[in-house]
Amino acid sequence: MEEPFVINDDATVDEAFSIDNDVKAEWALNKIRERAAERDRIVSASQGVIDTYQAIIDKENKGADEAIAFMEGLLLRYFGTVEHKATKTQETYRLPTGRLKMKLATETMEPDKEELMKVYPDFVEQKPSLQWGELKKRLQIVDGKVIDTETGEIVQDVTVESTPPKFSVEV
Protein backbone atom coordinates (compact mmCIF):
# COMPACT_ATOMS: atom_id res chain seq x y z
CA MET A 1 0.00 0.00 0.00
CA GLU A 2 1.39 3.40 -0.93
CA GLU A 3 2.07 5.88 1.82
CA PRO A 4 -0.14 9.00 1.53
CA PHE A 5 1.45 12.38 0.80
CA VAL A 6 2.69 13.88 4.08
CA ILE A 7 1.89 17.56 4.68
CA ASN A 8 3.85 17.75 7.93
CA ASP A 9 5.08 15.32 10.55
CA ASP A 10 1.68 14.61 12.04
CA ALA A 11 -0.83 15.21 9.24
CA THR A 12 -1.62 13.68 5.88
CA VAL A 13 -3.66 14.83 2.92
CA ASP A 14 -7.19 13.52 3.01
CA GLU A 15 -9.67 13.47 0.19
CA ALA A 16 -11.32 16.71 1.34
CA PHE A 17 -8.09 18.68 0.89
CA SER A 18 -7.77 20.71 -2.28
CA ILE A 19 -5.81 23.67 -3.53
CA ASP A 20 -8.32 26.32 -4.41
CA ASN A 21 -6.48 29.64 -3.90
CA ASP A 22 -3.03 31.24 -4.27
CA VAL A 23 -2.21 30.90 -0.55
CA LYS A 24 -2.69 27.11 -0.64
CA ALA A 25 -0.83 26.92 -3.95
CA GLU A 26 2.16 28.79 -2.44
CA TRP A 27 1.99 26.51 0.61
CA ALA A 28 2.13 23.46 -1.74
CA LEU A 29 5.11 24.93 -3.64
CA ASN A 30 6.97 25.42 -0.35
CA LYS A 31 6.22 21.81 0.66
CA ILE A 32 7.57 20.63 -2.70
CA ARG A 33 10.76 22.70 -2.23
CA GLU A 34 11.21 21.38 1.34
CA ARG A 35 10.71 17.76 0.28
CA ALA A 36 13.05 18.13 -2.72
CA ALA A 37 15.71 19.73 -0.49
CA GLU A 38 15.37 16.90 2.05
CA ARG A 39 15.65 14.32 -0.73
CA ASP A 40 18.76 16.04 -2.13
CA ARG A 41 20.35 16.15 1.33
CA ILE A 42 19.72 12.43 1.96
CA VAL A 43 20.89 11.46 -1.54
CA SER A 44 24.05 13.54 -1.17
CA ALA A 45 24.89 12.07 2.23
CA SER A 46 24.20 8.54 0.96
CA GLN A 47 26.36 9.11 -2.15
CA GLY A 48 29.20 10.22 0.12
CA VAL A 49 28.95 6.94 2.04
CA ILE A 50 28.81 4.99 -1.23
CA ASP A 51 31.89 6.84 -2.52
CA THR A 52 33.76 6.06 0.69
CA TYR A 53 32.97 2.35 0.47
CA GLN A 54 33.73 2.28 -3.27
CA ALA A 55 37.20 3.72 -2.52
CA ILE A 56 37.70 0.98 0.10
CA ILE A 57 36.59 -1.69 -2.39
CA ASP A 58 38.87 -0.33 -5.12
CA LYS A 59 41.87 -0.18 -2.76
CA GLU A 60 41.22 -3.73 -1.54
CA ASN A 61 40.84 -5.09 -5.09
CA LYS A 62 44.06 -3.39 -6.21
CA GLY A 63 46.01 -4.67 -3.20
CA ALA A 64 44.69 -8.20 -3.63
CA ASP A 65 45.42 -8.19 -7.37
CA GLU A 66 49.00 -7.05 -6.76
CA ALA A 67 49.58 -9.62 -4.01
CA ILE A 68 48.11 -12.43 -6.11
CA ALA A 69 50.18 -11.42 -9.16
CA PHE A 70 53.32 -11.40 -7.02
CA MET A 71 52.58 -14.89 -5.62
CA GLU A 72 51.73 -16.22 -9.10
CA GLY A 73 55.07 -14.88 -10.32
CA LEU A 74 56.87 -16.75 -7.54
CA LEU A 75 54.91 -19.91 -8.34
CA LEU A 76 55.75 -19.58 -12.05
CA ARG A 77 59.43 -19.35 -11.17
CA TYR A 78 59.07 -22.44 -8.90
CA PHE A 79 57.13 -24.27 -11.65
CA GLY A 80 60.18 -23.94 -13.88
CA THR A 81 62.36 -25.73 -11.31
CA VAL A 82 60.24 -28.86 -10.73
CA GLU A 83 59.49 -31.84 -12.89
CA HIS A 84 55.90 -31.62 -14.04
CA LYS A 85 53.44 -33.62 -16.13
CA ALA A 86 53.32 -32.58 -19.78
CA THR A 87 50.68 -33.19 -22.43
CA LYS A 88 50.45 -31.86 -25.96
CA THR A 89 48.63 -28.71 -24.82
CA GLN A 90 49.71 -28.05 -21.24
CA GLU A 91 52.08 -28.82 -18.41
CA THR A 92 50.87 -29.30 -14.83
CA TYR A 93 52.34 -29.72 -11.39
CA ARG A 94 50.06 -31.06 -8.67
CA LEU A 95 50.27 -29.79 -5.10
CA PRO A 96 48.21 -31.00 -2.12
CA THR A 97 45.72 -28.10 -2.33
CA GLY A 98 46.04 -26.87 -5.88
CA ARG A 99 47.65 -27.20 -9.26
CA LEU A 100 50.12 -25.15 -11.26
CA LYS A 101 49.27 -25.17 -14.95
CA MET A 102 51.05 -23.81 -18.01
CA LYS A 103 48.97 -23.85 -21.20
CA LEU A 104 51.43 -24.19 -24.03
CA ALA A 105 51.58 -21.86 -26.99
CA THR A 106 49.30 -22.97 -29.78
CA GLU A 107 48.84 -22.18 -33.40
CA THR A 108 45.41 -22.15 -34.95
CA MET A 109 44.34 -21.79 -38.56
CA GLU A 110 42.00 -18.93 -39.48
CA PRO A 111 40.54 -19.50 -42.94
CA ASP A 112 39.55 -16.93 -45.54
CA LYS A 113 36.47 -18.98 -46.42
CA GLU A 114 35.51 -17.00 -49.51
CA GLU A 115 38.91 -17.55 -51.14
CA LEU A 116 39.20 -21.17 -49.98
CA MET A 117 35.82 -22.00 -51.55
CA LYS A 118 37.28 -20.93 -54.91
CA VAL A 119 40.44 -23.02 -54.46
CA TYR A 120 38.73 -26.08 -52.89
CA PRO A 121 35.31 -26.39 -54.56
CA ASP A 122 35.06 -30.04 -53.44
CA PHE A 123 34.69 -28.78 -49.88
CA VAL A 124 31.91 -26.30 -50.66
CA GLU A 125 28.45 -27.23 -49.43
CA GLN A 126 25.34 -26.58 -51.47
CA LYS A 127 24.60 -23.48 -49.41
CA PRO A 128 27.52 -22.58 -50.43
CA SER A 129 29.64 -22.79 -47.34
CA LEU A 130 33.18 -23.99 -46.88
CA GLN A 131 33.46 -27.39 -45.14
CA TRP A 132 36.23 -26.04 -42.96
CA GLY A 133 36.22 -29.02 -40.61
CA GLU A 134 36.88 -31.44 -43.48
CA LEU A 135 39.39 -29.20 -45.28
CA LYS A 136 41.25 -28.54 -42.04
CA LYS A 137 42.05 -32.28 -41.83
CA ARG A 138 44.12 -31.89 -45.02
CA LEU A 139 46.03 -28.87 -43.75
CA GLN A 140 49.04 -28.71 -41.47
CA ILE A 141 51.06 -25.85 -39.97
CA VAL A 142 54.75 -26.09 -40.88
CA ASP A 143 57.15 -23.30 -39.90
CA GLY A 144 54.29 -20.84 -39.53
CA LYS A 145 52.81 -21.65 -42.97
CA VAL A 146 49.75 -23.71 -43.83
CA ILE A 147 50.47 -26.65 -46.14
CA ASP A 148 47.95 -28.81 -48.02
CA THR A 149 49.22 -32.30 -47.12
CA GLU A 150 47.75 -33.87 -50.27
CA THR A 151 49.28 -31.44 -52.79
CA GLY A 152 52.23 -30.12 -50.76
CA GLU A 153 51.26 -26.56 -51.73
CA ILE A 154 51.32 -23.60 -49.37
CA VAL A 155 47.76 -22.40 -48.78
CA GLN A 156 47.73 -18.60 -49.03
CA ASP A 157 44.16 -18.07 -47.82
CA VAL A 158 44.68 -19.29 -44.25
CA THR A 159 46.50 -17.23 -41.66
CA VAL A 160 48.30 -18.74 -38.68
CA GLU A 161 47.65 -17.15 -35.31
CA SER A 162 49.85 -17.98 -32.34
CA THR A 163 48.54 -18.09 -28.81
CA PRO A 164 51.16 -17.26 -26.18
CA PRO A 165 51.68 -19.61 -23.24
CA LYS A 166 49.43 -18.89 -20.27
CA PHE A 167 50.26 -19.72 -16.70
CA SER A 168 47.46 -20.19 -14.18
CA VAL A 169 47.06 -21.31 -10.61
CA GLU A 170 44.05 -23.40 -9.58
CA VAL A 171 43.12 -23.31 -5.93
Please check the confidence at residue 159 and state whether its pLDDT lies above 60: yes
How does pLDDT run across 21-39, given as a tens digit for each residue?
999 999 999 999 999 999 9
- Whether the full predicted model's pTM is greater than 0.75, yes or no, is no
Read off the pLDDT of residues 85-132 as tens digits, 9 standing for 90 and up: 999 999 999 999 999 999 999 999 999 999 999 999 999 888 788 999
CB 130 within 8 A of CB 121: no
Q: Does the pLDDT at position 10 exceed 90?
A: no
Predicted local confidence at residue 55, as pLDDT: 97
